[in-house]
Amino acid sequence: MNRMNNKEDFLNYYKPFKNHLRRLKLDDAFYVIWSYIQNLQFQNNFPEDIQVIPEYNDLDYIQKSRYCPAWDLELLTKEVLINSSQSIGRETLKKANYFAGALNKLKQIEGEIGTHYINPENVLSELFRISHRQFSWQTRPNNEFITRYYKIFGTDKFKNIIKNKLGLSIQKIYLIGLMLI
């Protein structure tokens, strides 16, 4: 089985994905990802300005989860935050093909890493990794979930982005959210 020899090998797989996301505007990309999560979890309709492949709306929850799993949307959100622009976006995830391209590139990275690292000796570690990604999306939000994301979004990098984009501090956003529960 091939092994990635160094960090550069991984970066060769990651670079096309990173470059794909660099063409996006941060808030626009967040809006699209949020819309997919709302559709997946609550069956909300997509806003009219988001192009979705026609077959997607006819799929049931299980089929939608195969195409666009919530845990991939979570990872895509993180990568968009790291790689997209806050001011200029030459492309948009509102285009169905561009959104699908982002998900496909993400899945391709996972596949390439898997071909290099998964073997009979560590297959259980891979199962644990997969389960930890998926199980959190299969349980209802609780205090641990809320606290985890409060700590993540309370970091300096997130605080500044959130304050600039929404005009509210993370504390105020969480307070509003808690009042709505």
8 Å CB contact between 72 and 105: no
Nearest alpha-carbon partner for 129 in 139, 141, 140, 117: 117
- The pLDDT of residue 1 is above 80: no
Q: pLDDT tens digit string along 79-118?
A: 998 899 878 899 999 999 999 999 999 999 988 888 887 8
Range with the poorest average pLDDT among 31-35, 45-49, 153-157: 153-157
Q: Is 168 left (phi over 0), alpha (psi -120 to 50) or beta?
A: beta
- The pLDDT of residue 181 is above 80: no
Same domain, 116 and 148: no
Same domain, 56 and 120: yes
Whether 102 maps to a domain, the answer reads yes
Whether 146 maps to a domain, the answer reads yes
Q: Which pLDDT score is estimated for 46?
A: 98
Same domain, 147 and 131: no
Whether 170 maps to a domain, the answer reads yes
Same domain, 117 and 76: yes
Same domain, 172 and 118: no
- Residue numbers of the domain that contains 56: 7-139
The alpha helices in 23-155, defined as continuous H runs, are 26-42, 61-67, 70-83, 96-117, 123-135, 143-153
Q: pLDDT tens digit string along 17-42?
A: 999 999 999 999 999 999 999 999 89
- The pLDDT of residue 2 is above 70: no
Whether 173 maps to a domain, the answer reads yes
